[in-house]
Amino acid sequence: MSLSNSPSIRAIERRLLARWPETKLEPSLDRIVSVLRLLGDPQRRYRSVHITGTNGKTSTARMIEALLAGSGERTGRLTSPHLTSVRERIGIAEEVIGVPAFRSAFSAVGKQAELVDASMPHPLSFFEMTVAMAYRAFADAEIDIAVVEVGMGGRWDATNVIDADVAVVLPVDLDHTDYLGPTTTAIAEEKAGIIGPGSVAVSALQSQEVAAVLRERAQTVDARLVSQGADFILERRTVVEGGQVISVRGLYRSYSNVFLALHGRHQAENAACAIAAAEGALGRELELGAVRAALGQAASPGRFDVRPGSPLVILDAAHNPHGARALAESLTELAPCRTFAVIAAMADKNVEGMLRELEPVVDVVVCTRNSSPRSLAPAKLAATARQVFGAQRVHVAFNVATALDKARTLAAPLPGNEPDGLVLVTGSVVTVGDANQVLPADTPRRPMGQPLPG
């Protein structure tokens, strides 16, 4: 296919989105296995790190990628969901996949997908297509190691056709209970499915029930389980402008006084897991300078993504109570000020649980809807918000753009020279993506804090 006849990125996205949505699941790896076999099993041509957990997967994936790249590895990265473009899901050598490579991967996978669709009871889904495209693109780019985030769960996730050298299980909490099970134990059993024979399994801090599930899985498949708090640990953290300074004892050595350009204790804990995962993948200690360079430039768009300005805007894709709790803790570490939250969430989420976690740190809520057809109606969201915040603290807006305008107006200084408040946008990745599209293009993505010497 000549470049002039190649479909546009928008056309490719439309064709991908016309498939089964990633929220519609049919537990089987048959389709992804079949299409990859027709492609020559590209996922076998490089090593991999696989990441699951309830929250923090994308941020941790980006940190692992940066640590491995800083150690001389050519990397690929697969994360989900995206904020504004499907291309964001696939990274090559720490950059979003280029347009020609994206088109090439779509063309290669699309031809084989037609054969699989015709032979299976259900067609390949949107998510299965993007996974196959990523695995093909990684092989074409001749990467050394892929850092792969699961879409949902683990055992039946389309990404789980790699033989990962390292499996990372971040904190497990309740989410997607309709698919993964009603308890953290049931959810952990699904997520533990990414731990393969002979791999290194890196576990974040977990409840006793979840830890027991991971131990049993590791023993069953003869994997080496390393756990935070025992085999590696976050020793210290200090909040500084633009992020925090952390010290981590890894699997092979300690890394002291490392500036992390991300906010919140949860990101410091994620960084500790990322260091252990990178060490496990390489089988050795990391260079301190490489760790400082990687974490000092860490960025995770849409995850406590601070946009300086007047007022300050924070984008955070928290979409469940566990994520909202981490968000609330991060907000408390900023200088105290009034907080005006723009919230739009999916109708199938535990909205009341999220709101109750945010209530102590949010002054006013502007309830709205995002661009997804799954979005909860603003009136229904507002009804729940009034039960949590009280009627006087709740406003309603038609969409994210108008809600953002309302929140900015409310955050303006009050008489008496009270300082600006800050605007928080949260509730879903789609909500954050909608806000990202209307924020000024030249707004910095995060404060450029400087590492401390040491």
Residue 380: inside a domain, yes or no?
A: yes
Residue 366: inside a domain, yes or no?
A: yes
Q: How many domains does the chain have?
A: 2
Residues 243 and 348 in one domain: no
Q: What is the pLDDT of residue 381?
A: 97
Residues 71 and 211 in one domain: yes
Q: Where are the beta strands (DSSP E) in 208-277?
A: 224-227, 233-240, 243-249, 254-260
CATH number at residue 351: 3.90.190.20
Q: What is the pLDDT of residue 420?
A: 72
Residue 443: inside a domain, yes or no?
A: no
* Domain's final residue, options 268, 296, 324: 296
Residues 180 and 64 in one domain: yes
Residues 182 and 62 in one domain: yes
Residues 177 and 30 in one domain: yes
The rounded distance, in Å, linking the Cα atoms of 197 and 217 is 10
* Domain's final residue, options 269, 296, 323: 296
Residues 139 and 271 in one domain: yes
Q: 3-class DSSP state for residue 119?
A: helix
Residues 247 and 388 in one domain: no
Chain CA centroid to CA 159, Å: 15
* Domain's final residue, options 232, 264, 296: 296
- The predicted-structure confidence for 254-283, as pLDDT tens digits, reads as follows 999 999 999 999 999 999 999 999 999 999
CATH number at residue 102: 3.40.1190.10
Q: What is the pTM of this model?
A: 0.88
Q: 3-class DSSP state for residue 320?
A: coil
- The predicted-structure confidence for 309-354, as pLDDT tens digits, reads as follows 888 899 999 989 988 998 999 898 876 789 999 999 999 899 999 9
Residues 379 and 407 in one domain: yes
Q: What is the pLDDT of residue 448?
A: 36
Residues 375 and 357 in one domain: yes
The residue segments making up the domain with residue 73 are 3-296
Q: What is the pLDDT of residue 454?
A: 34
The rounded distance, in Å, linking the Cα atoms of 435 and 172 is 28
CA torsion 42-45-50-56 (nearest 10°) is: -80
User: Which positions of the chain have pLDDT values less than 50?
Assistant: 1-4, 177, 442-454
Residues 210 and 327 in one domain: no
Residues 283 and 178 in one domain: yes
Residues 339 and 285 in one domain: no
Identify whether the C-beta of residue 277 lies closer than 8 Å to the C-beta of residue 311. Answer: no
Q: What is the pLDDT of residue 446?
A: 42
